[in-house]
Structure 1
Amino acid sequence: MGSYAKATMTGFICRLCSEYKKSVIHFYSAKAQELELLKKLTLLPITIDKYDNLPKTICQDCIEKLNLQYRLVDRIRKSFEIQQRHRLFHSNGRCPLECPLYGTNSYDSSDTSLQQSE
C-alpha cells in the first residue's frame, strides 16, 4: 500500500493557479452558479469542459482575482458604450443635455490630478 503523505488529491487543486488548497469550489456546484464562475471564466484564454481530466475546482484567491478582472472588464465595456452614445449626440461639437457624458469634464492638460496618477 502507498503512503497518504505521497497521495495526490486532485479534488483540491485549483484549476487556475494549480496550487493545493484546503477550501475550493467546484465549477459545477450551486455555489459556483451563484457566483457566476463559469460566466466569468469566459474572460480567460482557457476552456473548461465538464468531462476533461483537469481539475474542476477554483480556490478563493483565484475567485477574488477573477472577480476583480470581471469588474474591470465590465466597467470598461460600460464606459465604451457610454462613449459610443456620447459620440452620437455631437453634431455641432457641443454636449447636449441628453448626452450620457453631459456635465463631465473633458481632459484638460493643465489638470495636475490626472498627470500625477500617470
Structure 2
Amino acid sequence: MGSTAKAVVTGFICRLCSEQKKVVIHLYTERAKRLELLKKIKLLPISVDKFDNLPKTICEQCVIRLEIQYNLVLKIRKNNDIQRCHRLHHSNGRCPPECPFNGLDLPAWPEEVTTEESPEA
C-alpha cells in the first residue's frame, strides 16, 4: 500500500485558491445556494459549469474573501449610480430633497487639475 500523505483528494481542492482544505463548501448544495456563491463567483473573471471537470468546492477562507469582494462591488456600483445621477441632474450644486446627497456637506467638485508647473520668468 502507498502512503496517503501525498494523495490528492479532488473533492477537497478549492476552486478559487487551488489549495487542499479539510473543510469546503460544495457549489451545488443548499448552503451554497443560501450564500449565493455562484452569483458572487460570476463577478470573477472565471466561469463555473456544473459539468466541467474542475473542482466544485470552495474553502471557507475563499468564501469570506468572495463575500468581501462582492460587497465592495455592490458598494461601488451603488455609489457610481448615485454620483452619475447627481452630476447629471444637479450640476448647479442645488440638490432637491430626494437627492441622496441632499443635506450632506460635500466638498466642492475639484476643478481640472494640471500637473504642469507654470514657467518662471
- TM superposition score category, shorter chain reference: 0.7 to 0.9
CA distance in 1, matches of 2:25, 2:98: 45
Q: Partner of 2:93 in structure 1?
A: 93
**1:62 matched residue in structure 2:** 62
Secondary structure at the aligned position of 2:85 is classed as helix
Partner SS for 1:99: coil
Structure 2 residue runs of 5 or longer lacking an equivalent are: 109-121
Contact 1:89 / 1:99 at 8 angstroms: preserved in 2?
no
State the alpha-carbon separation in 2 of the partners of residues 11 and 53 from structure 1: 11
CA distance in 2, matches of 1:92, 1:59: 50
Find the aligned partners of 1:66 and 1:23 in 2 and give their Cα distance. 16
| Distance of aligned partners of 1:91 and 1:67 in 2 relative to their CA distance in 1, 3 Å threshold | closer
- Richer in helix (by share): 1
- TM-score normalized by structure 1? 0.83
Scaled by the length of structure 2, the TM-score of the pair is: 0.81
Q: 1:91 and 1:9 mapped to 2: Cα distance?
A: 59
Unaligned runs of 5+ in 1: 109-118
Which residue number corresponds to residue 27 of structure 2? 27
Q: Over residues 22-66 of structure 1, what are the superposed CA-to-partner deviations in whole Å (9 max), with x where a residue is unaligned?
A: 100011111000000000001111111111111100000000000
Shift of 1:4: 2.4
Identity of aligned residues (%): 63
Check conservation: 1:12, 1:20, Cα contact below 8 A. Answer: yes
Describe the SS at the equivalent of 2:5.
helix
Aligned-residue RMSD, C-alpha? 1.8
1:99 Cα shift?
1.5
Q: Which of structure 1's runs of 4+ aligned residues deviate more than 6 A?
A: none
| Corresponding position: 1:83 with 2:83 | yes
